């Protein structure tokens, strides 16, 4: 009996010690929250039990900061900041697209001391001006970014934006229209600097010169300290740096592109070739030395480098130029990193790709212990409502795509099979059961889902904007387009108002929606072989395996547009077997 009593007492004492340790550790974490990064450094094991599953309620109440490790990325925040699972889905996405939504991570920056100036750092948008809206719980977008700026300004803070570049991807008319729309948004949000990255350089120097507007009180400056167009700095594009002053703080921003990144867009050249090239590149260290002297002469207190570099190259620049305040670097982890790495006294910041997150930076130059605070903010619909002004810009962009007939004027490419598209109605003449299954799936109404007038499920996410003339959207919502290159195949879908003749006018009605031929290939030769009674050859023309089908599906149901996609589950909704 005495032994049992002693054992029980010992267990009780150990339990009390554990509780006391947890309470002490909690106080230590709270004391460290407003460190350089704005997050508390804890062991990785502490994050393993963080609640991010869909079994927990979504909340937007302000609670204690959630601790994360320096290695943790916004990936955990993506789950935690996802939109409510009750949000409707679009017509072509089943309820399986409703991937798990966890609790919203409370924002830290509103609880910082008011800084003389805040910066919002973004980069590598890669064409994602807004989430496509194909499925619920998507992150990012200029509309939510505008809401973030508004929240910062509502605190009474001055805020400016800086961007790493690679705003668009691809080249051609649509890429330029999206770039111009993004520039309009940057200027409205009071961005002061845009680094010219590889994607900007693909748009060509002459075009960039036409878009670099340096008039006004706070112009958006195109930066590239070691880049030069047409052999002349006098053109003013790109600039080596920009200096601006807010609340008595002078801030200097510059940008360089490393040799590693340069090689992805500017080929190696002989000295003679380089002298006559449209774009010239020089050593980043030489350019940085000149810019740092300029900043010193101007009395710049906060020195920011927008680095188109690898991680190791950005660290080397931080070591070589310790007078920098912070380095915002591209080509890092896809979702960004919560805690900046510190090299000497220089903070290295990564804000991720595709506009899913933004870095909020509080500048406190008079605070010797904590001159910079940083929070990586995931742009979720739960915390950041849509902006009417950004929706207007998106509408203007869609209007230009329509008025410029981009879907038509970008031309066509031949389908590899050499066959022509005939439409699902033709397929249904023989394959009646498969056709009946298809016409009752969301695939049959995919084109309608781009137009809010049809009010398909999830149409609210379109915010009244009709995207049915947008090649990047219609490529997955109609029949006869290459969904990865956003190019129309010959005889593929074309909007009726762009049709060149009576035959083309039939194609909108004939090929709207995601039909049979997007998986099985254009059917004209199949029909010809059937009519010639060559059935075995006809079957070979259009037969696909489940493995081939899955590869076709993920060309549209990719990680961005359909993050919850599972071929095995989705196939159950559209399964159909051969001829009747």
Same domain, 438 and 296: no
DSSP letters for 345-371: TEEEE---STTSEEEEEEE-TT-SS-S
- 64: in domain: no
- 160: in domain: yes
Question: What is the pLDDT at residue 94?
Answer: 40
Question: What is the pLDDT at residue 91?
Answer: 39
Which of 81-90, 175-184, 319-328, 369-378 shows the lowest mean pLDDT across its residues?
81-90
- 510: in domain: yes
Same domain, 359 and 453: no
- Read off φ and ψ for residue 473, nearest 5 degrees: -95, -50
Same domain, 270 and 360: yes
pLDDT above 90 for 304: yes
C-alpha closest to that of 464 among 162, 205, 143: 143
- Report the number of distinct structural domains present in the chain: 2
Q: Would you say 380 and 147 are in contact if contact means Cβ atoms under 8 Å apart? A: no
- 226: in domain: yes
Same domain, 469 and 333: no
Q: Would you say 492 and 486 are in contact if contact means Cβ atoms under 8 Å apart? A: no
- 453: in domain: yes
Same domain, 565 and 463: yes
Same domain, 421 and 570: yes
Give dist(CA 364, CA 229) in Å, integer. 36
- 517: in domain: yes
Give dist(CA 48, CA 46) in Å, integer. 6
C-alpha closest to that of 50 among 84, 77, 73: 77
Same domain, 162 and 208: yes
Q: Which residue has the higher pLDDT, 364 or 81?
A: 364
Among 325, 356, 388, identify where a domain stops: 388
When pLDDT is averaged across residues 148-154 and rounded to a whole number, the result is 97
Question: What is the pLDDT at residue 61?
Answer: 30
Same domain, 118 and 175: yes
DSSP letters for 439-499: HTSGGGGTTGGGSGGG--TTGGGGTT---TT-HHHHTTTBSSEETTTTEEETT----GGG-
For the whole prediction, is pTM greater than 0.95? no
- Which residue's structure tokens are 């006004």? 216
- 94: in domain: no
| pLDDT tens by residue, 502-552 | 999 999 999 999 999 999 999 999 999 999 999 999 999 999 988 999 898
Same domain, 341 and 434: no
Owning domain of residue 468: 409-574
Mean pLDDT for the chain overall: 83
Same domain, 449 and 365: no
Same domain, 466 and 431: yes
| pLDDT tens by residue, 341-396 | 999 999 999 999 999 999 999 999 999 889 999 999 999 988 999 999 999 999 99
Among 388, 423, 442, identify where a domain stops: 388
Q: Is 539 helix (H, G, I), strand (E, B) or coil?
A: helix
Question: What is the pLDDT at residue 407?
Answer: 94
Among 359, 388, 417, identify where a domain stops: 388
- 297: in domain: yes
Same domain, 124 and 259: yes
Structure tokens belonging to residue 21: 């340790």
Q: Tell me which long-range contacts 567-575 makes (C-beta under 8 A, separation of at least 24).
A: 569/96, 570/94, 570/96, 571/546, 573/94, 573/441, 574/437, 574/438, 574/441, 574/443, 575/437
CATH number at residue 357: 3.60.21.10
Residues in the chain: 580
| pLDDT tens by residue, 2-12 | 444 434 444 44
CATH number at residue 499: 1.10.1130.10
User: What confidence category does residue 300 fall into, taking pLDDT thresholds of 50, 70 and 90?
Assistant: very high
């Amino acid at each position: 009996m005495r032994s049992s009593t002693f054992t029980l007492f010992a267990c009780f004492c150990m339990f009390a010690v554990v509780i006391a340790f947890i309470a002490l550790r909690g106080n230590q974490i709270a004391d460290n929250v407003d460190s350089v990064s704005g997050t508390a450094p804890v062991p990785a094991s502490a994050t393993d039990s963080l609640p991010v599953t869909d079994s927990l309620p979504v909340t937007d109440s302000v609670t204690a900061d959630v601790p994360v490790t320096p290695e943790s990325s916004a990936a955990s925040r993506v789950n935690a900041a996802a939109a409510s699972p009750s949000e409707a889905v679009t017509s072509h996405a089943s309820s399986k697209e409703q991937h798990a939504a966890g609790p919203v991570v409370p924002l830290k920056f509103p609880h910082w001391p008011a800084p003389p100036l805040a910066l919002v750092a973004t980069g590598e948008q890669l064409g994602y001006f807004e989430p496509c809206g194909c499925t619920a719980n998507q992150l990012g977008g200029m509309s939510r970014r505008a809401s973030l700026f508004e929240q910062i300004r509502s605190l009474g803070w001055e805020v400016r934006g800086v961007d790493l570049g690679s705003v668009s991807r691809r080249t051609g008319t649509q890429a330029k229209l999206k770039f111009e729309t993004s520039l309009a948004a940057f200027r409205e949000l009071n961005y002061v600097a845009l680094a010219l990255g590889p994607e900007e350089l693909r748009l060509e120097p002459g075009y960039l010169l036409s878009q670099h507007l340096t008039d006004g009180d706070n112009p958006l400056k195109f930066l590239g300290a070691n880049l030069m167009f047409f052999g002349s700095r006098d053109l003013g594009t790109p600039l080596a740096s920009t200096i601006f002053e807010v609340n008595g703080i002078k801030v200097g921003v510059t940008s360089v592109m490393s040799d590693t990144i340069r090689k992805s867009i500017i080929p190696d050249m002989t000295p003679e070739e380089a002298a006559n090239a449209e774009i010239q590149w020089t050593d980043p260290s030489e350019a940085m030395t000149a810019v740092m002297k300029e900043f010193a002469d101007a009395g710049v207190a906060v020195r920011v480098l927008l680095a188109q570099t690898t991680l190791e190259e950005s660290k080397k620049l931080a070591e070589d130029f310790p007078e920098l305040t912070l380095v915002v670097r591209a080509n890092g982890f896809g979702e960004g990193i919560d805690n900046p790495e510190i090299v000497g006294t220089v903070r290295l910041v990564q804000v991720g790709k595709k506009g899913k997150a933004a870095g909020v930076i509080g500048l406190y130059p008079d605070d010797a212990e904590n001159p910079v605070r940083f929070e990586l903010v995931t742009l979720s619909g739960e915390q950041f409502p849509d902006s009417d002004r950004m929706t207007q810009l998106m509408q203007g962009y869609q209007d230009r795509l329509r008025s410029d007939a981009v879907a038509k004027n970008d031309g066509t490419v031949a389908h590899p099979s050499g066959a022509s598209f005939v439409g699902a109605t033709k397929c249904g003449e023989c394959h009646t059961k498969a056709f009946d299954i298809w016409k009752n799936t969301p695939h049959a109404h995919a084109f309608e889902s781009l137009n809010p007038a049809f009010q398909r499920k999830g149409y609210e996410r379109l915010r009244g904007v009709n995207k049915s003339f947008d090649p990047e959207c219609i490529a997955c919502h109609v029949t006869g387009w290459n969904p990865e290159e956003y190019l129309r195949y010959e005889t593929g879908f074309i909007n009726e108002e762009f049709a060149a003749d009576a035959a083309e006018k039939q194609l909108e009605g004939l090929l709207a929606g995601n039909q049979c031929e997007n998986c099985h290939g254009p059917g004209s030769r199949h029909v010809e072989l059937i009519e010639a009674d060559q059935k075995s050859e006809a079957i070979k023309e259009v037969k696909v395996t489940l493995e081939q089908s899955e590869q076709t599906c993920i060309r549209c149901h990719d990680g961005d547009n359909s993050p919850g996609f599972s071929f095995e589950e989705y196939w159950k909704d559209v399964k159909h077997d051969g001829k009747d």
